[in-house]
Amino acid sequence: MGAAETRSRILDFAEKLFAAQGFHGTSLREVALAADLRQSLVQYHFKSKFELFRAVYERRALPINHDRMTRLADIEAKAARGNPLDPEEIVRAFVESTVVTARDRKSGGEPYAEIVAQIINDPQDHARKVSREFMDVVAKNTLRVLRAALPDIASDELVWCYVFSIGAMVSAIARTGRVRLLSEGECDPDDVERILSLLVPFITGGMDAVAKSSKARRPALKRKSPARNTEVARPPHALSRRVKV
Amino acid sequence: MGAAETRSRILDFAEKLFAAQGFHGTSLREVALAADLRQSLVQYHFKSKFELFRAVYERRALPINHDRMTRLADIEAKAARGNPLDPEEIVRAFVESTVVTARDRKSGGEPYAEIVAQIINDPQDHARKVSREFMDVVAKNTLRVLRAALPDIASDELVWCYVFSIGAMVSAIARTGRVRLLSEGECDPDDVERILSLLVPFITGGMDAVAKSSKARRPALKRKSPARNTEVARPPHALSRRVKV
DNA sequence: GTCTATATTTAGATAGAC
DNA sequence: GTCTATCTAAATATAGAC
């Protein structure tokens, strides 16, 4: 067995265990045992528990971030050509890749979804570190495009909306069994199409409603009416590849 | 120091530590040390780590659940008198007590908010157990009232919406520092009024949008038009005190 | 790169004196 | 109820042979 295979074996089993038991709930011994390897190999390849965790996270986050950034770039390119920015399309751009990865059995992204779910609201160091490293740049770029598409929402309000949206998304892919329980079996947590067909309008409609109430709260705002939905955020160059891929 | 005070001291410090470090990240030794008590006292009063965790959670959850249930009962009583059910009022009923508790410095509910945030999407046993014991009954009652207020949303879709909503709410009260970071300091995570003034329309608008798209998807549904927003869910008696208070 | 062996710390839980 | 003392198990991490 080559070194590369050893590494990926460790990553595979660590991912599953972190997903099911959390960071502190998982021991490197367990990981090694599950992967049928010596424990010292884990430290040899990843140095520390956190570094292993980080590597597990990175492996899934990079392709997802790449997809999100590509979609954003496409949307901005379209906008630069004069098409109006469509909020729903932006929402799809930051929601679909994660939800699909989380629920696609072939991609192996199911445990990743659980890890994201555990991390997103966790104040602990290991969680904050990977969140900052892998999620924040993409989030900022998403926010920039959203801001251009929804000029009626104040900048700080939009950040809140984004945070709400991610919260909603993550609760949709968490594997807690809660939807099934609350719906007495009616909801199928694996039905990606259905989840997206509800989540996307939910988020879009939510932002829309906030836009309305926000505009009502401060009606005296500079308006250059009809064309304003077409403008590209700031420098369109900034988008393309600012994120690790 | 009386036994009752010892107990509540342990609860206080355990709550803070669980909030900051999670369940597995917190040791009973730390708790005892922080509370300036012998470690064996923790086991004497709470038997096991999980029981301590459960007690910590229970202390905050009961008053919040009481408030939520009371509000729901009021809403249903009003509806029984002929007033139409107002979705926004229902949303406030299941969101406000938690958000306010989470951000009110005097109530001591800040660490509770962090615990909820860590639990809500966690598949682990300790998390699922308290979630089931303390959150699910209230959720089911909330869903029943929501169902009556939003007859255009299919029953299983409404469960998804509820889960999205709780996800959004929890992400608003989590203490990750993320809003501040993403907004470059513009967002104040302690501004309860502001959070609620965005969160409530976000959720209400989200559900509204889902209602519209849901209705569009299956237009042929029995309709007894104008009065349907007035009807009370099922047996109105079922509400009042089915939950631990 | 992989192995064995082990150092070092810490965990949850209990026994029994007071 | 509270104390001291300790059991037993498990954790992360490292040293050094192959």
Q: What is the DSSP string of B152-208?
A: TS-HHHHHHHHHHHHHHHHHHH--SSHHHHHTTT-S-TT-HHHHHHHHHHHHHHHHH
Cβ-Cβ contacts under 8 Å, B197 against chain A: 213
The pLDDT of residue A239: 47
CB < 8 Å to B87, chain A: none
A189 to chain B: closest CA residue: B160
Question: What residue spans in chain B does CATH classification 1.10.357.10 cover?
Answer: 58-219+226-236
Distance in Å from D12's C1' to B118's CA comes to: 24
Q: Is some CB atom of chain A closer than 8 A to the CB atom of B182? A: yes
Q: pTM for the whole thing? A: 0.93
- For domain B1-47, give its CATH number from 1.10.1750.10, 3.30.499.10, 1.20.1600.10, 1.10.10.60: 1.10.10.60
The pLDDT, as a whole number, for residue A104 is 86
Nearest chain B Cα distance for residue A87, angstroms: 14
B37 touches strand C (CB under 7 A): no
Say if A153 is an interface residue toward chain B (CB within 8 Å).
Answer: no
A-chain residues near B199 (CB < 8 A): 160, 164
Predicted local confidence at residue B229, as pLDDT: 59
Q: Which two tokens stand for residue B214?
A: 């849901």
State whether residue A89 sits within 8 Å of chain B by CB.
Answer: no
B131: closest chain A residue by CA: A178
| pLDDT (tens place) for every residue of chain A, 245 residues total | 789 999 999 999 999 999 999 999 999 999 999 999 999 999 999 999 999 999 999 999 999 999 999 999 999 999 999 999 999 999 999 999 999 999 988 888 899 999 999 999 999 999 999 999 999 999 999 999 999 999 999 999 999 999 999 999 999 999 999 999 999 999 999 999 999 999 999 999 999 999 999 888 877 655 445 555 555 655 444 444 445 54
Q: What are phi and psi of B112, to 5 degrees?
A: -60, -40
Q: Which option is the CATH number for A60-238: 3.30.360.10, 1.10.510.10, 1.10.357.10, 3.40.630.30?
A: 1.10.357.10
With beta carbons under 8 A apart, name residues in chain B contacting A163.
Answer: 171-172, 178-179, 182
Burial of residue B170, with CB atoms counted within 10 A of its CB: 0-12 exposed, 13-18 middle, 19 or more buried: buried
Asked if B178 contacts B170 with a C-beta cutoff of 8 angstroms, the reply is no
Cβ of B171 and A121 within 8 Å? yes
The CATH superfamily assigned to B58-219+226-236 is Tetracycline Repressor, domain 2 (1.10.357.10)
Residue A174, chain B, CB below 8 Å: the answer is yes
Please check whether residue A50 touches B, CB under 8 A: no
CA distance B67 to B94: 9
In chain A, residues under CATH classification 1.10.357.10 are: 60-238
Distance in Å from the first CA to the final CA of chain B? 28
- Give residues lining strand D (CB < 7 Å): A 26-30, 39-40, 43, 47-49; B 1-3, 6, 37-41, 44-45
Q: What is the tens place of the pLDDT at every residue in B167-190?
A: 999 999 999 999 999 999 999 999
Which chain A residues are Cβ-neighbours of B19 within 8 angstroms? 123
Question: Which residue ranges does chain A devote to CATH 1.10.10.60?
Answer: 1-47
**Under an 8 A CB cutoff, do A167 and B163 touch?**
no
Residue B6's nearest nucleotide, by CA–C1', is: D1
- A115 phi, psi to nearest 5 deg: -65, -45
Residue numbers of chain B with a pLDDT score lower than 70: 220-245
Distance between the alpha carbon (CA) of A35 and the C1' atom of C9, Å: 26
Q: Is B71 helix (H, G, I), strand (E, B) or coil?
A: helix
Across the interface, of A163, A194, A213, the residue whose CB is closest to B178 is: A163
